[in-house]
Amino acid sequence: MESNERRVTYLNAGHTVKSWLLTVDHKRICILYMISITVMFVIGGLMASAIRAELLTPAGDLLSSDTYNKAFTLHGIVMVFFFLIPSIPATMGNFLIPLMIGAKDVAFPKINLLSWYVYLTGATIALVATATGGLDTGWTLYTPYSTAYATTNVVLPATGIFITGFSSILTGFNFIVTIHKMRAPGLTWFRLPLFIWAMYATSLVMVLGTPVVAITILMAILDRCGFGIFDPTAGGDPVLFQHLFWFYSHPAVYIMILPAMGVISEIIPAFTRKKIFGYGFIAASSLAIAIIGFLVWGHHLFTTTQSMYAAVVFSVLTFAVAVPSAVKTFNWAATLYKGSVSFESPMIFALGFMGLFLIGGLTGLFLAILGLDMHVQDTYFVVAHFHYIMVGGAIMGYMGGLHYWWPKISGRIYPELPAKAAALLIFVGFNGTFFPQFIAGYLGMPRRYHYYPPEYQVLNVLSTMGAGILAVGYMLPFFYFMWSLRHGEEAGKNPWGVLGLEWTLDSPPHPHNFHETPIITSEPYDYPEMAREFGEHAGHGTVEAAHV
């Protein structure tokens, strides 16, 4: 233990505020982002609490209509743009990509830091907008309400989102170049960990899609200032706004889920001690999701004046995009089969992900059916569907990854029992919150309404009770992670005893990651060969030239 005190890590190399705020170390930037997005998650969560509290009773008695509209708008904007989109990429992506490819940092470290400041600028502007009156258009900013009729300040929050979009673009572009150009010798594309494939696909989406929402928001801001691009009284077409908005916002959901899937692809082989089933198919499916994901956005426009023919085309393509996701789910399940499964907390999150993502994905297919969508569009069915994917999927993936790599990031082991409790509470609370919403939506309860007919009250009360449990589940990790920083056992290089380049490094790693560039000579997840040497030599087999 004493030698560790003197060991230089990225955490103790430089204690000044300046060394953190002006860092170009990708690992420190991960921490900076982690703190920021946690703050935004709390804000988004408070909005969710306000919504669920209001919906306990059928009457609109807790919040006024206008305030309720602002609550769900802010909940959506904060959770989508300021939490989910950056979540895994800006934290675990930043931390792990150089480690997993044997690099000393990302390709453009200063641009990495810049992306955090851009994110902060956008987030601050959006929060200032909230404090000075808020926005009530819904996070989707549909015209012409947002451009011509809204009485709330649209320009300010829209500008905040516009600016944060550039943070996303900078992160994605950095990752693409890093993965192409900075891989260690011997690390061919098909020896990359699946997390890298997932991050690469995510970055493609970030780079190709985000500029489109940026320009669309800019056009909406211009319209708000008197231009007439989407003004129906001038012949403008609000559906054009929706086409352009969803051209990004649908692929955006893949920005949110692909990294989570990458995390699951890392956790499952680790806790089954087995080579992942169908590596090539999982890698290819990440790219397939990214590409086909750009072709389905019209399914958000089924109930608009989008033509029936376009709707049919989008419906078929939406069915197609489910296929690569299903491929992943089958392959994860096949990996579990006859594996040596252990149920540490990251694995519980991963298994929870598989179940919840399955439900979310299947209900997405229900929504892809034109006839059914006509009935359940803009009801709680849709709300439940996307929360199953974004919360049951993406956030479970985030939590799973956070638990799995926490020892590497912090150098400490968190207590396992509270972690298991948190995972179970989150799973139970999540289903309690959102499953009743499927039923309520199917029975016709519209979304974004703050008063509703009394027959929906039971389902809403169940949902709010579930939300309470979910909130407790989310609060627990904060406490035991913080506890672990002071009192947690020191993690060695490889506390889980698994394979992966990042597990050959110290926990926490040295600022420059590798003392010598590793040379990669084998496939990832090479577990059967490692089974004999499992134990004291675990994790060393894949890296020939790393010195300890």
Residue/partner pairs of 6-12 with CB below 8 Å, 24 or more apart: 7/506, 7/510, 8/510, 8/511, 9/411, 9/506, 9/508, 9/509, 9/510, 9/511, 10/508, 10/509, 10/510, 10/511, 11/410, 11/411, 11/508
Judged by CB under 8 A, the residue of 149, 226, 532, 535 near another protein is: 226
Q: Is 173 in the site for another protein (CB under 8 A)?
A: yes
Name residues whose C-beta falls within 8 Å of residue 122's C-beta, 6 or more positions apart in sequence. 81, 82, 159, 160, 161, 162, 163, 164, 165, 166, 167
Q: How far is the CB of 25 from another protein (least distance, A)?
A: 10
Choose the binding region for another protein from 29-37, 141-149, 301-309, 351-359 (rule: CB under 8 A): 301-309
Judged by CB under 8 A, the residue of 208, 287, 320, 354 near another protein is: 208
Contact 4, 490 (CB under 8 A): yes
Judged by CB under 8 A, the residue of 133, 138, 145, 237 near another protein is: 237
Residue with tokens 């298991």: 420
Hey, what amino acid is at 201?
A: A
Q: How far is the CB of 511 from another protein (least distance, A)?
A: 9
Q: Is 105 in the site for another protein (CB under 8 A)?
A: yes
Q: Is 225 in the site for another protein (CB under 8 A)?
A: yes
Q: Is 319 in the site for another protein (CB under 8 A)?
A: no
Q: Other CB atoms closer than 10 Å to residue 229's CB: what's the count?
A: 17
Burial class for 59, CB neighbours closer than 10 Å (0-12, 13-18, 19+): exposed
Q: Is 465 in the site for another protein (CB under 8 A)?
A: no
Q: Is 177 in the site for another protein (CB under 8 A)?
A: yes
Q: Is 219 in the site for another protein (CB under 8 A)?
A: yes
Tokens of 350: 């991963």
Q: How far is the CB of 183 from another protein (least distance, A)?
A: 11
Judged by CB under 8 A, the residue of 227, 330, 435, 534 near another protein is: 227
Hey, what amino acid is at 522?
A: S
Q: Is 247 in the site for another protein (CB under 8 A)?
A: yes
Q: How far is the CB of 272 from another protein (least distance, A)?
A: 32
Write the binding mask 178 to 197 for another protein: x where contact by CB under 8 A, - elsewhere: --xxx---------------
Q: Is 19 in the site for another protein (CB under 8 A)?
A: no
Contact 194, 524 (CB under 8 A): yes
Query: Rounded to the nearest 10 degrees, how much is the dihedral formed by the CA atoms of 83, 84, 86, 90?
Result: 100
Q: Is 309 in the site for another protein (CB under 8 A)?
A: yes
State the DSSP code for 472: H
Following DSSP, what letter does each residue of 411-470 receive, concatenated? SBPPPHHHHHHHHHHHHHHHHHHHHHHHHHHHTTPBTT-SS--GGGHHHHHHHHHHHHHH
- Residue 430 main-chain phi, psi, to 5 deg: -60, -50
Q: Measuring CA to CA, which residue among 71, 81, 78, 65 is closest to residue 49? A: 71
Q: How far is the CB of 295 from another protein (least distance, A)?
A: 7
Alpha-carbon distance of 198 to 406, in angstroms, equals: 20
Q: Which is nearer to another protein, 295 or 465 (CB)?
A: 295
Q: Which is nearer to another protein, 151 or 305 (CB)?
A: 305
Choose the binding region for another protein from 234-242, 276-284, 385-393, 489-497 (rule: CB under 8 A): 234-242
Judged by CB under 8 A, the residue of 113, 176, 220, 440 near another protein is: 176
Q: Is 90 in the site for another protein (CB under 8 A)?
A: no
Q: Is 1 in the site for another protein (CB under 8 A)?
A: no
Q: How far is the CB of 548 from another protein (least distance, A)?
A: 8
Tokens of 88: 């895994």
Judged by CB under 8 A, the residue of 8, 59, 458, 485 near another protein is: 8
Q: How far is the CB of 8 from another protein (least distance, A)?
A: 5
- Residues in a beta bridge with 401: none
Q: Which is nearer to another protein, 104 or 447 (CB)?
A: 104
Choose the binding region for another protein from 80-88, 98-106, 401-409, 537-545 (rule: CB under 8 A): 98-106
Judged by CB under 8 A, the residue of 21, 310, 333, 475 near another protein is: 310
Residue/partner pairs of 337-341 with CB below 8 Å, 24 or more apart: 337/277, 338/274, 339/272, 339/273, 339/274, 340/272, 340/273, 340/274, 341/271, 341/272
Q: Is 374 in the site for another protein (CB under 8 A)?
A: no
Burial class for 268, CB neighbours closer than 10 Å (0-12, 13-18, 19+): buried
Tokens of 23: 């860092």
Alpha-carbon distance of 85 to 89, in angstroms, equals: 8
Judged by CB under 8 A, the residue of 30, 31, 55, 107 near another protein is: 107
Choose the binding region for another protein from 191-199, 217-225, 270-278, 455-463 (rule: CB under 8 A): 217-225
Residue 498, CA distances (Å) to 48, 50, 168, 271, 430 in order:
38, 42, 31, 8, 30
Dihedral of alpha carbons 282, 394, 11, 95, sign: positive
Hey, what amino acid is at 224?
A: R
- Angle at CA of residue 286, ends 283 and 288, nearest 5°: 110
Q: Which is nearer to another protein, 66 or 237 (CB)?
A: 237
Q: Which is nearer to another protein, 157 or 209 (CB)?
A: 209
Judged by CB under 8 A, the residue of 144, 186, 211, 446 near another protein is: 211
Burial class for 322, CB neighbours closer than 10 Å (0-12, 13-18, 19+): middle
Binding-residue total with another protein (CB under 8 A): 66
Q: How far is the CB of 21 from another protein (least distance, A)?
A: 20
Write the binding mask 502 to 531 for another protein: x where contact by CB under 8 A, - elsewhere: --------x-x--x-x--------------
Q: Which is nearer to another protein, 174 or 377 (CB)?
A: 174
Q: Which is nearer to another protein, 313 or 341 (CB)?
A: 313
**Residue numbers of the site for another protein (CB under 8 A)?**
3, 6-8, 103-109, 169, 173-174, 176-177, 180-182, 207-212, 214-216, 218-219, 222-223, 225-229, 231, 233-237, 239-240, 243-244, 247, 294-295, 297-298, 301, 305-310, 313-314, 510, 512, 515, 517, 548
